[in-house]
């Protein structure tokens, strides 16, 4: 009895063990069956989200490029219509000691061809020579600024007040008699100016910032190189229209500096802003 009972008990233990193993296997399979699909689903979902994010980024990039292209086209249209232009640095080209019968008309032709307006400070006694009054008239009609450089090119600080006044007023009268416009600016010879004269003659003295000393050389290249290497925005360039080399240099200077983006204006535009 004891032996048979022991066998039955052992059989029961084996069966129970096998049932537990079977249940454990089922449990493991169930877990595996649930986890794997979830893992696969998560992986697929992550890839899908990454792909979607990349697609959105690409679309945003494309849209930004399209917007920039449209803006660039709009800007170009405005520039073409004159509604928006880059502000070019301004400089003034000024000429002393004219007019010259031989060289000033050549300079005027070159300025007109290039669409440039310059400033001319005239000597009174030169205006009275030959047909130079016609040159002065042409200067004015073509939009150049005309100023005073005294009647006889004298250093007015070495004159008494009355003589200095006459040097300026006499030249003003000559210019105004030709152009019909009041003279507002003058360049005192040698840069020497009497402050006390301003109220009496009512002119504004105009000096310079770039001086290639063109009167001291006939070397065109030297004049050109000195100006183009020194010039900066708002500079006032001093030349003379009574020398062939200076006129040739002036036209080359214009060509070179226009190519660099400079815009030539008259002296009053720099002074008054």
CA–CA–CA angle 131, 178, 268 (5° rounding): 115
Nearest by Cα to 255 from 140, 113, 88: 113
Residue of 96, 214, 235, 241 marked active site: 96
Q: Specify whether the CB–CB gap between 135 and 105 falls below 8 A.
A: yes
* Residue 28 per-residue DSSP state: H
Residue of 67, 240, 241, 244 marked active site: 240
- Whether 96 is catalytic is yes
Q: Specify whether the CB–CB gap between 228 and 253 falls below 8 A.
A: yes
CA–CA separation, 105 and 176 (whole Å): 20
For the beta carbon of residue 234, count every other beta carbon within 10 angstroms. Answer: 14
Q: Specify whether the CB–CB gap between 114 and 134 falls below 8 A.
A: no
* Active site residues per annotation: 96, 240
């Amino acid at each position: 009895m004891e032996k048979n009972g022991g066998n039955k008990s052992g059989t029961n233990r084996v069966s129970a063990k096998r049932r537990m193993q079977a249940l454990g296997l089922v449990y493991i399979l169930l877990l595996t069956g649930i986890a794997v699909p979830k893992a696969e689903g998560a992986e697929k979902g992550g890839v899908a989200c990454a792909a979607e994010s990349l697609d959105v980024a690409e679309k945003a990039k494309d849209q930004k490029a399209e917007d920039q292209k449209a803006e660039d086209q709009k800007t170009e249209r405005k520039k073409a219509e004159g509604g928006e232009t880059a502000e070019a640095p301004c400089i003034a080209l000024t000429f002393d000691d004219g007019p010259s019968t031989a060289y000033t008309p050549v300079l005027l032709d070159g300025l007109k061809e290039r669409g440039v307006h310059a400033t001319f400070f005239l000597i009174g006694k030169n205006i009275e020579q030959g047909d130079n009054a016609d040159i002065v008239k042409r200067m004015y009609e073509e939009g150049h600024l005309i100023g005073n450089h005294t009647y006889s090119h004298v250093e007015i600080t070495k004159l008494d007040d009355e003589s200095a006044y006459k040097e300026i007023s006499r030249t003003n009268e000559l210019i105004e008699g030709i152009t019909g416009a009041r003279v507002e600016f003058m360049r005192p010879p040698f840069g020497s100016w009497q402050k006390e004269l301003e109220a009496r003659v009512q002119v504004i003295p105009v000096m310079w910032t770039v001086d290639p000393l063109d009167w001291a050389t006939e070397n065109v290249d030297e004049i050109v190189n000195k100006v183009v290497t020194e010039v900066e925005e708002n500079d006032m360039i001093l030349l003379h229209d009574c020398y062939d080399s200076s006129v040739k240099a002036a036209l080359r200077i214009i060509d070179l500096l226009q190519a660099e983006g400079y815009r030539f204006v008259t002296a009053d535009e720099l002074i008054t802003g």
